Amino acid sequence: MPAGALGGIVFLAGLALLVWAAGTFRRAGTQIQTTRPTSTIVEEGPYRFTRNPIYIGMFLGLIGVAIAIDSLWLILVLVPFYLVIRYGVVAREEAYLERKFGDVYLAYKARVRRWL
């Protein structure tokens, strides 16, 4: 399979996951933006398998682009991107959700992995 086709498939898989996750949030009536209050813990759709499907979709999309354009530098940029997402965004989100939802979030966190 040509790299462009493989990259396109990976990119579309990431986009599909991101759209599925965002739609699941909307149907649950909660916010997607990390700067707005969360109204509920979403445990349906892709959130049954991972607590962060939107970020996984973003990573897959970037990996797909990197494969399609044969870009090693883009793959290398994913390392600091991951670190910023993991420690700058996800850590804050998790602390906020623990404060806001307490045991409900802790039970969800115990059942569902952060990534995959």
pLDDT tens per residue across span 26-52: 999 998 888 888 999 999 999 999 999
Does residue 116 sit within a domain? no
Domain of residue 85, residue span: 3-111
Three-class SS state of 4? helix
Domain count, the chain: 1
Does residue 105 sit within a domain? yes
Per-residue tokens: 70: 């044969």
Does residue 83 sit within a domain? yes
Does residue 11 sit within a domain? yes
- Over residues 80-93, the mean pLDDT reads 96
Does residue 36 sit within a domain? yes
Tell me if 115 sits within 8 A of 53, measured CB to CB: no
Say what the pTM is: 0.92
- Smallest CA-to-CA distance from 6 within 56, 70, 89, 57 is with 70
Q: How far apart are CA 24 and CA 84, in angstroms?
A: 25
Q: Give 10-26 pLDDT, tens digit per residue.
A: 999 999 999 999 999 99
The percentage of the chain sitting over the pLDDT mark of 90, rounded to a whole number, equals: 88
